Amino acid sequence: MKILVPFDFTETANNALSYVKKFVGYDENTEVVFVYVNENEDSKAEEKLEAVKTDFEEHSISKVRTLVVKGEFHAAILKVVEAEASDLVFIGTSLVNDKKLNTNASKFVLSADCPVIVIPKDYDAFKIKKIALVIGEDLIHNSKLLQTLLMVARRFSAKVDVLTVKKGEAEYGYTNEDEKNENTISYYLEDFYSGHVFIDGPDIPESIFKYAEEKHIDLISILPRNNAEGELSSKGALTKALSEVSKIPLLVID
């Protein structure tokens, strides 16, 4: 597995780095690539990134590399993701006035062509034992995407709750789509799948966070093209809403 970690030497990036160290652990089959986008022509960028690499290697037996690239952050990181054929990206986020997500992270999760784990700045714990997979009522558009979630569940022996939030007067009970999704999830997630929960939610993000708090969820996961109905049915709307205010890590699978 190849993990890409955009790094800008901020407190937010350092917090995400702590999470990555624990996620990777002592795994010799994982390669970690730290990337710094040198937008401001920092002459010491390579030296500073090498120091990050050295520190990481003290806690891991994984292969570690560094890259310093030029350009605008968003476009540059997307090019690196493609060039490196990254399997997973970790990126930190920070709230501004408790309302706005770091724009680099929010733009990236909506356009990255690989799974991304978003780490909130103030999240200083590490435990992945309970995962909530958020899906809508449409058919899962690409069942193979669940392989990423299975990888994480296997790695940490985590259970996966599947959560669907229904708005308004949506019909309850299993539709044909629900049944097909159930079969797909059961097949791909194996024994890590713990069940499918349907809840009311006029405010979908709020309902998801409430569920996560009540059930002690450690990681929220979302398939962006199968997420919600109504005004949040587009690829980006619910993902953006979750990533902006989530207090626990968010795995965006695409």
User: Domain boundaries in the chain?
Assistant: 2-120, 130-248
Which H/E stretch holds residue 2?
Answer: strand 2-6
Question: If the chain, 254 residues long, is cut into consecutive pieces of 10 residues, what is the mean pLDDT of each piece?
Answer: 93 93 91 91 88 92 93 90 93 65 68 90 90 86 84 96 74 70 89 90 87 96 61 62 86 88
Amino acid at 5: V
For residues 207 and 168, the answer to whether their CB atoms sit within 8 Å is no
* Matching residue, tokens 């990888």: 151
At residue 46, the pLDDT reads 92
Give the pLDDT confidence score for residue 208 in this predicted structure: 92
Supply the pTM of this predicted model: 0.89
pLDDT of residue 168: 56
Q: Alpha helices of 25-135 — where are they, by DSSP H?
A: 45-57, 73-84, 103-111
Q: What is the pLDDT of residue 64?
A: 94
Give the model's pLDDT for residue 49. 94
CATH superfamily of 2-120: HUPs (3.40.50.620)
The rounded distance, in Å, linking the Cα atoms of 83 and 89 is 13
Protein fold of 130-248: Rossmann fold (3.40.50)
- Report pLDDT for 228: 41
Integer angstrom CA distances of residue 242 from 45, 120, 172, 175? 32, 11, 24, 26
Label residues 163-200 b or e (16+ Cβ within 10 Å = b).
Answer: bbbbbeeeeeeeeeebeebeeebeebbeebbeebebee
